[in-house]
Structure 1
Amino acid sequence: MKITFIGHASILVEMGSVTVLSDPWWRGPCFGAQWWNYPEPHLEALKDCRIDYIYISHGHHDHFHPGTLRTLSRDSKVIVARGTSLASPVRELGFEVVELGDEDVFEPGPEGVSIRVMGTYSDDTLMTITDGREVCLNLNDALHAAPEAVQAEFVARLKKLFPRIEYVFCGYGVASHFPNCYVIPGKDREATAANRQRYFNRQWAKLIVELEPAFGFPFAADVVFLEEELFWANEPTHNTERPTDAFKSLNPESPVTTIDIAPGFAIQNGNVLRESFRKPVNEASLRTTLQDKIARANRYGRVSEMAVKEVADLIQKNLEMCASYLHSYEGNYRFLIRFRNSQYGIWIEKQGRNVISVVIALDAARMPEYDVSYTTRLPYLKWSLTEPFGDEILFVGSGGIFEYKDQLKAGENLHRELAELLRRRDGPPRPRYGKSSKVVHNAKQAIKQLIGRRDQDLYSLATWTVFKDDQVR
């Protein structure tokens, strides 16, 4: 078995006459103009290679990238998990699709070669490949951000299926707007970004320890942010602690070899064929080498009042659909939605049980007093409001910036009220307290706190935000 790291979440596995390529993305950005491949993918390995199968792990744009798939031969068959929404759009691109269920074992060629695809959590999947001698696990985004119970279930299952594992490729972060897209007074944005990344580095290390492969490789995070509002995040995300550093510091006696790989790295039968190792991201170098892409990422079209009114009408429909949910929030609030390169915005205000939204003209010298503002590109928000899974452009990508006026509101995660209105809805949100009343819900939370059992909220600002002069947890 020969494995070459192409870039981001894409690896090429060659097993005699069978080749499998995973999650190809290298043609242009994804999530609009937000994420860009960096370092550059190693496409030389694909130059004279016949690709028999392409595995698409899940529907996020950096894994299912139609622009890249259109450049590949339709002689390749595409492997997806049965029951996901991927088969239809892949067929529309002209590919034959192989759908695999959790218990299916696909044997595509020479004796000993077999492939499995398993659905894990939140539409994510993982793939196992064996040539009869070695085993490769492609975990992509499937486990490092999954709940602990899901991780334990799949680690046990994988170890039962494969008592000896040679290679594990596992993701370790970035697929979220959170927490980098939040501006809070006094927040140390670099330390906050590093704090969140540190957690996922340790999740990566934990999975590698439990799976006990011969080799562990972090991947699926080779992206940079080129829009000016998030350019700062590249260095603290990539240059602080690395997953391999976390593993070695926590497990100094482990026999597992962990390597921080870069595109072009290749390994075969346990021997490194081509060395290519991760290097720190340098802001000055990015600005020089990616100058044209930076210009493209920061090019905004003019936004008219009519276009803003069209989006405001969509938000008004969500307000009406979410009325009962919004009324259950006991406080009042003022939200402002702003669009890049527009003099118009959308004002949303709650007073008691009355919630209104109106289009307003904006004056930079006299901005209205808001609790939370959200700044985005109008096409991004319109996409989120109208397309199935469209909100991924805002919340899996980094499509906008929430700005708080004070820390108290941030501690309450007030932005969650606004976020419910920024996505396409086919019905109201789930009740705020589930099937319980507020009193019962709060009592349960108090009991959990008393017995020391608090569920960690990975999307709570209080969990991750580091304020200036704070110590990183």
Structure 2
Amino acid sequence: MLTKFLGQACTLIETNNKKIIVDPWIVGPCNVNTWYTLRNKAATKKDIPTDVDYIYISHEHQDHFQQETLKEFSKKIPIYICKFKTKRFYNEIVKLGFKNIIELSSWKPEALTKDLEITSIQNLDLMFEDSALLIKSSEGTIFCQTDCKMDFTSLKKVNAAKPDIGFFMYSVANWYPDVYNYSKEKRDEIAKKRKANKINGFVNYVNVVKPKYAIAYAGGPLFPHKSQLELNNPDTGVFGCPDEPKKAWNDSGNSGTEVVIMAADDEIKIDGTHVKNNESILSTNKMDALNELSIEVQEDLNRRWKAEGEASSKLSTKIIDYFNKIISENSIARKHIDMKVQLIADGKNGGEFILDIS
């Protein structure tokens, strides 16, 4: 049983002559053309392993459901997802042309072959639809948390499956506080606290699940556009680096699990043998490599940003319609929302918008 780490939350598991890829994001940026995976050089289409037997996608966020990568796979490959409360995610996959989409009930094992099964694990959050994955074969068991937040009971159930290898989130995956109107001092303070909380979360997750080997992943993207380079600063940025959770684990005094730092394209065997490939590990030393990556992708990024165009003159109406649609799809979550949010959009047709969800 061999697992290849392909960046962010993308893993390729090969066992008993079958291949399953999880959360494939390999080429191009995501999240309005700003995020790149933690690599020295940008990946190309030839780096996409399209010869897989199965695809699993944990949820709809673009760093897990990245359409530019998915378009390279055959539309006949079965795609497995968790059965969520709404059909929003399912329908987005249908739009890409995939013909065989299978929804899995949470915690119900699904046999792919006589000696390979997967178990989707839904998070318990009322609003966010997300999932983790257990992969079990006659050769071993692997747990992929993706960036699914999990409660103690769920983690203990994963522990009972006795995973040999576990991939665990260690970093935030959103823009808070970077795009909020705080002073630099306030932003840095919030970022430091959020980053520490996520790294402590990694330690806690690993300590409960107790795999033989743990890998920190699903975090720490790169922002190579020249206007966003400061977001990568490991001293002030909110995004963690993979050497930080390893250090936190080693300093915690916990035992029984070895934390392995993997770079994109590295492989790990079920016995913990770590096979290094072309990419060096980018951690708190990433700024020099990032500057080179920035030069490499700048022309492409500028082209992508220009192609985005300007906001519609109907932006305010579209914002209202979007949030009404999202909220209307989940009647359970709707009962628990009581808040007001101010959005500020720069540029032509921008402005200030107040969402009163109370």
Q: Secondary structure at the residue paired with 2:151?
A: helix
Asked if 1:32 corresponds to 2:32, the answer is yes
Instruction: Specify whether residues 65 and 202 from structure 1 end up closer, same or farther in structure 2 by C-alpha distance, changes over 3 A only.
Output: same
* Structure 2 residue corresponding to 1:199, chosen from 175, 183, 197: 197
Native 8 Å contact 2:217 2:242 kept in 1: no
Q: Which residue of 2 aligns with 1:106?
A: 110
In the TM superposition, what whole-angstrom CA distance separates every residue of 1:357-408 from its partner, at most 9, and x where no partner exists? xxxxxxxxxxxxxxxxxxxxxxxxxxxxxxxxxxxxxxxxxxxxxxxxxxxx
Instruction: Specify whether residues 293 and 45 from structure 1 end up closer, same or farther in structure 2 by C-alpha distance, changes over 3 A only.
Output: closer
Q: Which residue of 1 aligns with 2:119?
A: 116
The one-letter amino acid of 2:18's match is V
In the TM superposition, what whole-angstrom CA distance separates every residue of 1:154-182 from its partner, at most 9, and x where no partner exists? 1122233x1x2211111122311111223
Q: Which residue of 1 aligns with 2:147?
A: 141
Aligned 1:67-216 pairs, distance under 5 A: 67-83=68-84, 85-92=88-95, 93-109=97-113, 111-120=114-123, 121=125, 122-143=128-149, 150-160=150-160, 162=161, 164-185=162-183, 187=185, 189-190=187-188, 192-216=190-214
Q: In angstroms, what is the RMSD of aligned CA positions?
A: 3.4
Instruction: Specify whether residues 329 and 159 from structure 1 end up closer, same or farther in structure 2 by C-alpha distance, changes over 3 A only.
Output: closer
Inter-partner Cα distance in structure 1 for 2:35 and 2:89: 21
Quote how far apart the aligned CAs of 1:241 are: 6.6
Instruction: Specify whether residues 262 and 240 from structure 1 end up closer, same or farther in structure 2 by C-alpha distance, changes over 3 A only.
Output: closer
Native 8 Å contact 1:169 1:217 kept in 2: yes
Quote how far apart the aligned CAs of 1:78 are: 0.6
Quote how far apart the aligned CAs of 1:55 are: 0.3
Q: Secondary structure at the residue paired with 2:233?
A: helix
Inter-partner Cα distance in structure 2 for 1:168 and 1:206: 13
In the TM superposition, what whole-angstrom CA distance separates every residue of 1:399-419 from its partner, at most 9, and x where no partner exists? xxxxxxxxxxxxxxxxxxx4x
Inter-partner Cα distance in structure 2 for 1:25 and 1:243: 22
Instruction: Specify whether residues 302 and 270 from structure 1 end up closer, same or farther in structure 2 by C-alpha distance, changes over 3 A only.
Output: closer
TM-score by length of 2: 0.79
Native 8 Å contact 1:262 1:278 kept in 2: yes
Inter-partner Cα distance in structure 2 for 1:166 and 1:284: 35
Q: After superposing the two structures, state which structure 1 stretch, 60-69 or 174-183, moved more.
A: 174-183
Inter-partner Cα distance in structure 2 for 1:4 and 1:211: 21
The one-letter amino acid of 1:243's match is P
Q: Which residue of 2 aligns with 1:269?
A: 270
* Structure 2 residue corresponding to 1:234, chosen from 232, 239, 242: 232
Inter-partner Cα distance in structure 1 for 2:93 and 2:154: 27
Native 8 Å contact 2:26 2:47 kept in 1: no
Q: Which residue of 1 aligns with 2:247?
A: 245
Q: Percent identity?
A: 18
Native 8 Å contact 1:5 1:42 kept in 2: no
Native 8 Å contact 2:19 2:54 kept in 1: yes
Inter-partner Cα distance in structure 2 for 1:261 and 1:41: 16
Q: Which residue of 2 aligns with 1:288?
A: 292
The one-letter amino acid of 1:193's match is A
Quote how far apart the aligned CAs of 1:308 are: 6.6
Inter-partner Cα distance in structure 2 for 1:311 and 1:35: 24
Native 8 Å contact 1:336 1:345 kept in 2: no
Q: Secondary structure at the residue paired with 1:128?
A: strand
Quote how far apart the aligned CAs of 1:5 are: 0.7
- Structure 2: give runs of 5+ residues left out of the alignment: 323-337
The one-letter amino acid of 1:136's match is I
Native 8 Å contact 1:29 1:35 kept in 2: yes
Aligned 1:307-456 pairs, distance under 5 A: 309-312=313-316, 337-340=344-347, 342=348, 346=351, 418=354, 420=355, 429=357, 431=358
Inter-partner Cα distance in structure 1 for 2:67 and 2:13: 21
The one-letter amino acid of 1:249's match is D
Inter-partner Cα distance in structure 1 for 2:133 and 2:18: 15
Inter-partner Cα distance in structure 1 for 2:276 and 2:172: 25
Native 8 Å contact 2:213 2:272 kept in 1: no
Instruction: Specify whether residues 23 and 192 from structure 1 end up closer, same or farther in structure 2 by C-alpha distance, changes over 3 A only.
Output: same
In the TM superposition, what whole-angstrom CA distance separates every residue of 1:110-153 from its partner, at most 9, and x where no partner exists? x332111121132110110111341111111112xxxxxx5212
Q: Secondary structure at the residue paired with 2:273?
A: strand
Native 8 Å contact 1:139 1:170 kept in 2: yes
Instruction: Specify whether residues 213 and 177 from structure 1 end up closer, same or farther in structure 2 by C-alpha distance, changes over 3 A only.
Output: same
Native 8 Å contact 2:15 2:139 kept in 1: no
Native 8 Å contact 1:180 1:189 kept in 2: yes
The one-letter amino acid of 1:339's match is D
Q: Secondary structure at the residue paired with 1:68?
A: helix
Q: How many residues align?
A: 328
- Structure 1: give runs of 5+ residues left out of the alignment: 144-149, 319-327, 349-417, 421-427, 432-473
Inter-partner Cα distance in structure 1 for 2:76 and 2:320: 47
Native 8 Å contact 1:8 1:41 kept in 2: no
Quote how far apart the aligned CAs of 1:303 are: 7.6
The one-letter amino acid of 1:215's match is Y
Structure with max Cα Rg? 1
Instruction: Specify whether residues 70 and 55 from structure 1 end up closer, same or farther in structure 2 by C-alpha distance, changes over 3 A only.
Output: same
Quote how far apart the aligned CAs of 1:65 are: 1.4
Quote how far apart the aligned CAs of 1:31 are: 1.5
